[in-house]
Chains A and B, each alone.
Chain A
Amino acid sequence: MGALCLFFSTIEYLFPKPFPFFRLGLANLPILVMLPVVRPGYILLLVLLKVLGQGLINGTLASYVFLFSAAGSFSSAAVMLASQRIFGRHISLIGVSIFGAIASNAVQLFLSVTFIFGKTAWVIAPLFFTLGVVSGVAVGVFAQRFYDRSRWMSGIREYYG
């Protein structure tokens, strides 16, 4: 699954970006589909492998990009795990994905305001969150489809279930 995260992060480069800082978050897809299947510890390990793998492949391990990515990914995973626990079967992967995207964007915005741009950068918050919700819905829709229709995913669910 860690390798899949890296695969999706390379696929993401194929999509045109409306803004330079915008990311669709496709690399979170494997994390999202594994949420209902495995223990929280496994999810956090998967997030760690994803951020370290991306840092090594892209060469950003020793830069602010890695810190932003790690903070965003871990906060997103924590919120997705919490929403999955709180709402149980009453929430779809689309809802979980939206919660995760908002958490990741909130943390990354906080870090960029604190360490890079300064307080005035809060003006970009509405645009940033709107894009986050849009990408959260897009990734969530695909994740839900993959979870429901994939034969491989069905095997994984049986194996871990």
Chain B
Amino acid sequence: MVKETPFSRNFNALHLFLTGGIIIPAYLFQTNLSVRVAQVLLFAALSVVAGKRIKWTYFIIMVLSITFFNLVTPLGQVLVTVGPFTITSGALGNGLMKGFTIVGLVFISLFSIRPDLKLPGRLGGMIGRVFYYFERVIEGKKKVQARRLIASMDEILMELYAPGTTQEAVASESRRTTAAGYVAGALLVLGNWALLLV
């Protein structure tokens, strides 16, 4: 289930989640737009290292559309006037800041959250079971045929869980954080908090 990446090899899922959690306030307190853009690029790179597929077009459109809707309300010095549309420095700055903030939070989430992160209590146990069956459904994915979609799905489902049968017990392994993981985590946290001094 968990992809083999430098993150999965060196970080326990909970430790990685906490690393992301500690970075978030430092990221949100940042008021310098250039630094924030640099942070977003760093988090995007970390997401790629963590094995996540990033849809760049989605995120670019996200930043552009948020900025565009912010420009509708003029604020501060006029930069450019295009027909009836006026681009002001305050609105542009606010729009870009908001757009990058939102996208950056998604990237933090992408690199710091892994499927093997254990949620506490009964709910955590249920999620573990959902992942177990999900893996087995995915294994049978090749058998899904577009021409006989319902029949082929039936075959997979009957094989996995025939109605009325007992569900299988689920066991899962937990990975440990290595020394390199602790160092990288500490550097990430300290680096992002130190950027508040810039």
| Chain A residue nearest to B60 in the complex (CB) | A20
Query: Are A150 and B150 also in contact (CB < 8 A) when A3-B134, A6-B134, A53-B134 are?
Result: yes
Q: Is the CB of A59 within 8 A of B109?
A: yes
Q: Considering the chains assembled together, what is the distance between the CA atoms of A48 and B121 in angstroms?
A: 14
Chain A residues near B98: list those with CB within 8 A.
116
A-B CB contact pairs (8 Å), 25 listed: A3-B133, A6-B130, A6-B134, A45-B126, A49-B126, A49-B127, A53-B130, A56-B115, A56-B131, A59-B50, A59-B114, A61-B117, A62-B105, A62-B112, A63-B105, A64-B105, A117-B65, A120-B69, A120-B73, A150-B157, A151-B154, A152-B153, A152-B154, A155-B162, A159-B163
Q: Is the CB of A57 within 8 A of B115?
A: yes
Please provide the chain B residues from 50 to 81 with a CB less than 8 Å away from any CB of chain A in the complex: 50, 52, 55, 57-58, 61-62, 65-66, 69-70, 72-73
Chain B residues near A66: list those with CB within 8 A.
109
Q: Is the CB of B158 within 8 A of A152?
A: yes
Decide yes or no whether B184 CB sits under 8 A from chain A: no
Decide yes or no whether A128 CB sits under 8 A from chain B: no
Which of under 10, 10 to 19, 20 to 34, or 35 or more describes the interface residues of A?
Answer: 35 or more
Interface membership of chain B positions 127-142, coded 1 if the CB is closer than 8 angstroms to chain A and 0 otherwise: 1011111101110010
Which of under 10, 10 to 19, 20 to 34, or 35 or more describes the interface residues of B?
Answer: 35 or more
Interface of A is mostly: helix
Decide yes or no whether A146 CB sits under 8 A from chain B: yes
Interface of B is mostly: helix
The minimal Cβ–Cβ distance linking A31 to chain B, given in whole angstroms, is 13
| Residue in B52, B129, B130 whose Cβ sees the most chain A Cβ within 10 Å | B130
| Chain B residue nearest to A154 in the complex (CB) | B163
